[in-house]
Amino acid sequence: MPHGKTSYVCLPCRASYKQPHPGRYDHDHERICPRCTAPLIHVGSAFAPPRRRDVAAWRALSVLLHAGVRFHKSCCGGPGWRPRTWAEVRRRMAYARATGEPADRALLRSEL
Whether residue 92 is predicted with pLDDT greater than 60 in this model: the reply is yes
Q: How confident is the model at residue 97 (pLDDT cuts 50, 70, 90)?
A: very high
What per-residue confidence (pLDDT) applies to 1? 41
State the average pLDDT for the chain.
86
Q: pTM value?
A: 0.81
- Which pLDDT does position 51 carry in this prediction? 93
For residue 36, being part of any structural domain is answered with yes
Q: Is residue 112 part of a domain?
A: no
Residue 57 lies in domain: 5-107
- Please state, in angstroms and as integers, the Cα–Cα distance from residue 96 to each residue in 29, 70, 79, 85, 86, following that order: 34, 18, 21, 17, 15
The verdict on residue 22 lying in a domain is yes
Distance CA(73)–CA(46), nearest Å, equals 6
**Number of domains within the chain:** 1
Q: Which pLDDT score, from 0 to 100, does residue 53 have? A: 95
Q: What is the pLDDT of residue 109?
A: 86
Tell whether 50 is covered by a domain.
Answer: yes
